[in-house]
């Protein structure tokens, strides 16, 4: 009987420890590996074209694309947003981002949505600081796909490609 109660207590402690660890990972995810503060401004282009590896079939059975077909999503849709990649642990990058967002507010051009994607730092903390929804590049999926090595960076559509600019906000570092 005593052993059973002791086991239940240990299980509750372990569940609580795991819950707290999961909460901490959400509040402070591991930074994206390989992303460093940009030492110089770098502009480059990313072609989002990919090759279909197997036939893409619609629910009705009609083949939309055959395996081996090259597809560029920007042939069919527009990316009507800018993607900002920022390390929230770097105050100068957060200040740079604030400046970019304020410039957009003052612009009379067509408004486009800004998407803030952290490569380091706490999403809830940065979201509170900026008043904007914040995302995290989990596992470096986007930065790897786009070839981003430095932060902050901004990606936006330019024709059928993405124009990506890594910005040196603190070149002395």
| Residue 64 within a domain | no
Check whether the bond before 154 is cis (ω within 30° of 0): no
- pLDDT tens-digit series, residues 56-95: 999 999 999 999 999 999 999 999 899 999 999 999 999 9
36 shares its domain with 114: yes
User: Which pLDDT belongs to residue 13?
Assistant: 80
| Residue 68 within a domain | no
User: Which pLDDT belongs to residue 6?
Assistant: 54
28 — pLDDT class (breaks 50, 70, 90): confident
**Mean predicted confidence (pLDDT) in 126-155:** 94
Q: Is the pLDDT of residue 111 over 90?
A: no
| Residue 118 within a domain | yes
87 shares its domain with 157: yes
User: Which pLDDT belongs to residue 2?
Assistant: 55
91 shares its domain with 156: yes
Domain that holds residue 8: 1-28
> How does DSSP classify residue 161?
E
Q: Is the pLDDT of residue 107 over 60?
A: no
Q: Strand (E) positions, the chain? A: 36-37, 42-46, 50-51, 56-57, 63-65, 70-71, 81-87, 113-120, 134-136, 150-151, 153-158, 161-166
- pLDDT tens-digit series, residues 33-67: 999 999 999 999 999 999 999 999 999 999 999 99
**CA 85 to CA 136: how far, in whole Å?**
9
24 shares its domain with 84: no
The total domain count for the chain is 2
115 — pLDDT class (breaks 50, 70, 90): very high
Task: Give the lowest-confidence range in 21-25, 133-137, 156-160.
Answer: 21-25
State pTM to two decimals: 0.81
Residue 136 burial by Cβ neighbours in a 10 Å radius (0-12, 13-18, 19+): buried
26 — pLDDT class (breaks 50, 70, 90): confident
* First-last CA distance in the chain: 62
User: Strand, coil or helix: what is 142?
Assistant: helix
Q: Which residue has the tokens 């005593």?
A: 2
17 — pLDDT class (breaks 50, 70, 90): confident
Task: Give the lowest-confidence range in 2-11, 74-83, 160-169.
Answer: 2-11
């Amino acid at each position: 009987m005593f052993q059973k109660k002791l086991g239940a207590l240990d299980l509750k402690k372990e569940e609580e420890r795991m819950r707290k660890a999961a909460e901490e990972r959400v509040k402070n995810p591991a930074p994206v590996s390989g992303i460093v503060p940009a030492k110089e401004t770098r502009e480059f282009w990313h072609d989002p074209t990919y090759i279909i590896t197997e036939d893409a079939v619609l629910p009705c059975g009609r083949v939309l694309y055959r395996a081996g077909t090259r597809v560029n999503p920007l042939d069919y849709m527009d990316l009507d947003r800018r993607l900002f990649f920022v390390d929230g642990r770097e105050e100068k990058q957060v200040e740079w981002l604030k400046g970019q967002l304020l410039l957009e507010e003052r612009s009379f051009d067509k408004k486009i949505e800004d998407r803030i994607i952290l490569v380091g730092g706490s999403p809830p903390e940065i979201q509170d600081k900026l008043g904007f929804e914040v995302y995290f590049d989990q596992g470096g999926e986007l930065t790897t796909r786009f070839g981003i090595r430095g932060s902050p960076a901004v990606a936006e559509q330019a024709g059928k490609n993405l124009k990506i600019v890594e910005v040196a906000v603190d070149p002395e570092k």
